[in-house]
């Protein structure tokens, strides 16, 4: 069976010497690093949170999982939408270089691929992993494609 190719837009991000892609539909914005607020917790993949336009956004360094080492320096945070069982929320992914919006055909991942690989695309002679953020970042469950847009869930004070 030949895999089905989807033409879509992707954001290329850089972690050290490697590039990865995320479907552009899941990206909110690229922002300069800001102060990380840290507090006790047990989710080791999360560094802390940043404040962005009144929202509290967790910072998740995915470099260790993807390139085998944590980032020593970071140039931007790529703020992406992560789908959970009941809703979507933003996560901030530290990246080491500029990001680029491209249009490409994605080849879906195969059975042998890691869970965090949603597919593959070819760009500038490189074969680039398209990331599945739900498998890459901590938290429960995948959700259907028709989730409501992310909102900062407010609880009554």
Partner 1 sequence: MRLPSPAKSRPVRAEQIILFRVSGQLFAVSSASVQEVRSVDTLSGTTKEISQPSLRKVRHIVRRGENSLYVVNGSIHFGLPASPAALVFVLRRTRTALLVDGIEKMTTMTRLQALPQAFCHEEQDWYRGLTALDQTVVPVVKPEGFLTPDELSLLDASQMPAGDLPTNAASPSKAGPTPAGDEASLAR
Residues between 16 and 55 that touch partner 1 (CB under 8 A):
24, 27-30, 37, 39-43, 45-46, 49, 51-55
Q: Residue 56: beta bridge partners?
A: 51
Is 134:142 a contact under the CB 8 Å cutoff? yes
Asked if 137 touches partner 1 (CB under 8 A), the answer is yes
Is 30:18 a contact under the CB 8 Å cutoff? no
Asked if 138 touches partner 1 (CB under 8 A), the answer is yes
Cβ at position 83, least distance to partner 1 in Å? 10
Token digits for 14?
């850089």
Asked if 148 touches partner 1 (CB under 8 A), the answer is no
Q: Residue 79: beta bridge partners?
A: 29, 92
Residue count, binding to partner 1 (CB under 8 A): 43
Asked if 70 touches partner 1 (CB under 8 A), the answer is no
Three-state DSSP class for residue 135: helix
Asked if 57 touches partner 1 (CB under 8 A), the answer is yes
Residues between 71 and 130 that touch partner 1 (CB under 8 A):
79, 82, 84, 89-91, 101
| Rounded Cα–Cα distance for residues 79 and 59 (Å) | 9
Of 97 and 108, nearer to partner 1 (C-beta) is 97
Q: How far is CA 65 from CA 69, 135, 136, in A?
A: 7, 11, 8
Token digits for 11?
């954001």
Contact residues toward partner 1 (CB under 8 A) are: 11, 24, 27-30, 37, 39-43, 45-46, 49, 51-58, 60, 79, 82, 84, 89-91, 101, 137-140, 149, 151-157
């Amino acid at each position: 069976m030949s895999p089905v190719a989807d033409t879509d837009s992707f954001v290329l991000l850089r972690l050290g010497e490697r590039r990865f892609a995320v479907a552009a539909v899941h990206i909110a914005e690229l922002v300069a690093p800001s102060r990380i607020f840290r507090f006790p917790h047990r989710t080791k993949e999360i560094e802390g949170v940043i404040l962005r336009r009144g929202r509290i956004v967790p910072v998740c360094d995915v470099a260790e999982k993807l390139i085998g080492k944590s980032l020593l320096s970071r140039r931007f945070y790529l703020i992406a939408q992560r789908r959970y069982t009941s809703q979507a929320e933003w996560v901030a992914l530290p990246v080491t270089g500029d990001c680029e919006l491209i249009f490409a055909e994605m080849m879906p991942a195969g059975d042998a691929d890691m869970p965090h690989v949603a597919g593959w695309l070819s760009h500038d002679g490189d074969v680039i992993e398209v990331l599945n953020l739900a498998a890459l970042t901590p938290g429960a469950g995948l959700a259907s494609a028709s989730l409501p847009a992310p909102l900062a869930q407010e609880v009554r004070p």
